[in-house]
Copies of this chain bind each other. A is one copy, B any other.
């Protein structure tokens, strides 16, 4: 498929697909006229890239770990220096830290929402019996929620 198709399937502006290529995240073959030509597998690939970018990984890091994320593994093995391995391990650890951080926030957010629902918005009959009661104390550590 060409860039327009891939753009449509992945909801990614053409500009960005070219940018990802420029950053070495994807590779395109060219038709005789110079048009980029993509494999169907690029749809998932691009969605994965976008997910990782959205999760805060820079293209530089994504470029490093992408080759390890292909479905049919048992490829790309054998070209691994100790430094490569160390780098990948470091990135994996960093990803783990991100996950932990996000999970903590998600859990706190969930608790907060549960408390809110328990306190005043029980329009949803699934509300948990969380004994939440409000006070007027304001921490002043943070601004008001929007």
**Interface positions of A (Cβ within 8 A of B):** 24-27, 39, 41-42, 45, 48, 51-57, 63-70, 72-80, 82, 84-85, 87-89, 91-92, 95-99, 101-103, 105-106, 108-113, 115-117, 119-121, 132-146
Contacts and interface: CB of A to CB of B under 8 A. Distances in A.
B79 A144 contact: yes
Counting every copy of the chain, the complex holds 2
Given A24-B143, A145-B76, A98 B102 contact: yes
B145 A109 contact: no
A133 to B, nearest CB: 6
23 contacts: A39-B141, A51-B97, A54-B101, A55-B56, A56-B98, A63-B146, A65-B145, A67-B139, A67-B143, A73-B115, A74-B132, A74-B134, A75-B134, A75-B135, A77-B115, A77-B119, A77-B134, A78-B136, A79-B144, A80-B116, A85-B121, A92-B109, A102-B102
B89 A99 contact: no
A79 B9 CA distance: 41
